[in-house]
Amino acid sequence: MIIDLHTHTRVGSDDSFIDTHELIAKARKTGLDGICITDHDWFWKMETIEKLRQEHDFLILPGVEMNTNDGHLLVFGLEKYTFGMHRTGFLKQVLDDVGGVMILAHPYRRNMYYGEDVETSVERYSHNSVFKYVDIIETHNGRATERQSRFSRELCCRLKLKATGGSDAHQISDIPSGATSFERDISSVEDLVTELKAGRFQPFDLRHQS
C-alpha cells in the first residue's frame, strides 16, 4: 500500500489552501491507496474521518503535526491535545502511554545553516536531543529541494533510523510528491502504528515518476 503520511487542509492548517474533499479526490485519482491528514496541532474527530472515508470510499487516517521545542513531529495514535505536548519528552511519554508513534518531519528546517555543507550540518544536528525520542525520520518530503532531501537521507543513514515519505501538501499541486509504501495492508490508525513500529515500509519520491 502506498500512503501519503503528511498532508494539510485548510480546515486545520491556516497555511494550507486545500479543500478536504479536493485533497481526497486528487489523492485517489493519482493512484495513492490512502492519505493521512496531519493538520498543525489539530485533532480531527474520528466520526468526521469515518464519514469522509465512507463518502469517498478511500482510506483516510487522522494524525497531527505537532509543533514542539525540537521541531515538527508527525504524531499518530492520539485523539486529543494534552497541555505540555510542545515538549518532546512529554509528548513521547503520552504517546508511549497510548501506544502511539511519532515521526520527525522535514528535519532540514532551521537545521541547515547558510554556507555550511550538508555533511557538516548533518554531523552537528545528529547530536540533537530529539533523537532520544524518535526512531523515524521523514526523508522524502514533497516540498523539499534536492539538497534538503540529501540532508534528511544522510541524517537518517548516519543515525540508522527508519525513513518515511509524505507530500507535506499545502496546495493541491503538491499531490502526489512524497509517500510511503507499506508491505502489509492498512485499514486503521492502529494498523498504521503497528506497521510503523515494525519497520515494514519504505519512502518514495513520486515527483519524477509517471
Mean pLDDT of 148-175: 98
Q: Which residue has the cell 485517489?
A: 28
Q: What is the pLDDT of residues 79-95, one digit of tens each?
A: 999 999 999 999 999 99
Per-residue pLDDT at 139 exceeds 60: yes
Q: How many CA atoms lie within 13 A of 49 on its CB side?
A: 20
pTM of the model: 0.97
pLDDT-derived band at 132 (thresholds 50, 70, 90) equals: very high
Preceding peptide of 176 cis, ω within 30°: yes
Per-residue pLDDT at 115 exceeds 80: yes
| pLDDT at res. 210 | 46
| pLDDT at res. 62 | 98
pLDDT mean across residues, the chain? 96
Can you read off the three cell numbers belonging to residue 169?
501538501
Nearest to 117 by CA among 157, 87, 151, 146: 151
Mean pLDDT of 183-208: 96
With the CA atoms of 149, 111, 136 and 97 taken in that order, what torsion angle do they form, in degrees rounded to the nearest 10? -150
Collapsing DSSP states into helix, strand and coil, what is residue 189? helix
Measured between alpha carbons, how far is residue 182 from residues 77, 104, 196 in Å?
A: 18, 18, 9
Nearest to 77 by CA among 56, 46, 98, 106: 98
DSSP letter, residue 173 = G
Q: What is the pLDDT of residues 9-46, one digit of tens each?
A: 999 999 999 999 999 999 999 999 999 999 999 999 99
Mean pLDDT of 70-76: 98
Homologous superfamily of domain range 2-205? Metal-dependent hydrolases (3.20.20.140)
Residues 6 or more apart in contact with residue 143 via CB below 8 angstroms: 106, 167, 168, 170, 174, 177
| pLDDT at res. 66 | 98
b/e per residue, 5-32, with b = 16+ CB within 10 A? bbbbbbbbbeebebebeebbebbbeeeb
Measured between alpha carbons, how far is residue 14 from residues 17, 18, 72, 73 in Å?
A: 8, 10, 16, 17
| pLDDT at res. 144 | 97
112, amino acid identity: M
Per-residue pLDDT at 209 exceeds 70: no
| pLDDT at res. 207 | 87
Could you state, in order of their start, the residue ranges of all structural domains in the chain?
2-205
Distance, in Å, from the CA atom of 144 to the CA atom of 108, rounded to the nearest integer, reads 9
Mean pLDDT of 177-200: 98
Can you read off the three cell numbers belonging to residue 20?
478536504
